[in-house]
Amino acid sequence: MRTTNELYEQYISITQKAADFNNAAAVLGWDQEVYMPQKGFAHRGRQLATLATQAHELLTSELYGTLLQELAGREDLQDVARSNVMLSLEDYQKGKKLSAAFVETLTEQTSRSYGAWIKARRDNDFAVYVPELERMIALKRQQSDLYGYPQHPYDALLDDYEKGATVTMLDPVFEELRQQLPPLLGQIAAAPQVDDQFFFRHYAREKQFEFSVKVLAQMGYDLDAGRQDYSEHPFTTSFAPTDVRVTTRVDETNLASLLWSSIHEGGHALYEQGLPEEQYGLPLGAAASLSIHESQSRLWENCLGRGLSFWQHFFPILQGVFSDALANVSATEFFKASNKVAPSLIRTEADELTYHFHVMIRYEIEKALLEGVLHPRDLSGVWNEYYHKYLGIAAKDDLSGVLQDVHWSHGSFGYFPTYSLGSFYAAQFYEQAEKDLPNLKEQVALGNFSTLLQWLRIHIHQYGRRYRSEELCARVTGKGLDVSCFLHYARQKYSAVYGVELKA
């Protein structure tokens, strides 16, 4: 009879081999979005499908399942090992519901859908994308059925990104935002408005990029274990904590486009670089959830990156790079302009408050697509109906409307709600960090981010998937998700931005 240690070593070997396949696929995925020529999509889809299938077969084999069951019954399994095994057993039981053939088909479709999305964006024509999107949605409905769900087909896909999340849980969260945000936005609209016109002057592409890399490095992003490149849609990908890459995009007439996407992706990358390297390929070496991942990006982008202390340090440097465009601008004016609240078409460039309407729109659309009550060919019109309803605006074309997000081409249905959840967790974590680090703002104003990063490493990063989002939040802040923390943070911040007391 083999010892527990011998069984656990076999478990590690299989799990890490699957991780190797998945991370090799991730390298090809990164290349697909950054460097690959247009004609490469067909074969790249096959290559990715082969790797995904190999990983899936390893992690759903009878041998692996038997091994996990035996380990789960061993009383001498240590705490860290038990956490890994139980989480892997949960993944195994879910993964067994999808055949290798289905995983291969879905992966190949992802590459085709992404290629169609790229072409549709270049042509500014949603119709180019519709046939492949239809096929993707059909597969995601099939995936929901294979997983099974308690009430709504969307529940099965939500669980891939946020364990335990359901429509029943999320609907009240978004309903609270529908009730709470409009009065706050009304008070802001009635206040003297912020001038952000200097954001739309000319800012040279390479200088923007170089400045953003300096910001990332000072935040703590290890450039010996990562890099930044350009892509159609900013993203972060990780092959191991020692190789975590980010991308951004640049608009020479809109400084905000690169600035916030780079800081946002930097927050994701810091989380990935902070995961325990010794747990590579195992559950405790992976992020807790997508909402916790988003909490890290939104904390750095919004709580820090759009804060006055941040720009007290960085603005003189930025002003030195773009002396003509920013000659008569102060750090305080830059801080206020960075937080201007106004309805906008592009989710990734939206302010912190109206941003959640962008998420709600996508949430409602995804539910309707999964229910089958909305057809992909009607998305452009429905998209503008929602934007008019929630934000009073409509896209002038597909590029600034329904084609702006890459997520549906990847099959990432159920991802969008984690953006809002992440913002709420971010505000809650930041509130706790300020309590634990009373001179945090002073340190940030001096360009010292190491104390905050270490706090995040200790309280969040080191645990990997050991705790679900709600449990991790309770460990860090003493309570589960509390949307009122975000609303309190928003009232405080925007009172300072607009020079008025915003009331609940």
Residues marked active site are found at: 265
The alpha-helical segments, DSSP class H, found in 289-406 are 290-298, 308-321, 331-338, 355-371, 379-391
Measured on CA atoms in the order 452, 359, 484, 389, is the torsion positive or negative? positive
Spatial separation of the C-alpha atoms in residues 107 and 337, rounded to whole Å: 42
What is 104-142 written as a DSSP string?
HHHHHHHHHHHHHHHHHHHHT-GGGTHHHHHHHHHHHHH
Beta bridge partners, 240, equal: 243
Q: Phi and psi dihedrals of 195, rounded to 5?
A: -95, 120
Beta bridge partners, 253, equal: none
Residues in the chain: 504
Nearest to 433 by CA among 452, 461, 454, 457: 452
Looking up tokens 């929901």 gives: 144
Ramachandran area for residue 447 (φ above 0: left; ψ -120 to 50: alpha; else beta): left
Spatial separation of the C-alpha atoms in residues 29 and 142, rounded to whole Å: 24
Virtual torsion, Cα 153, 159, 160, 161, nearest 10 deg? 120
Angle at 329 between CA 323 and CA 205, to 5 degrees: 45
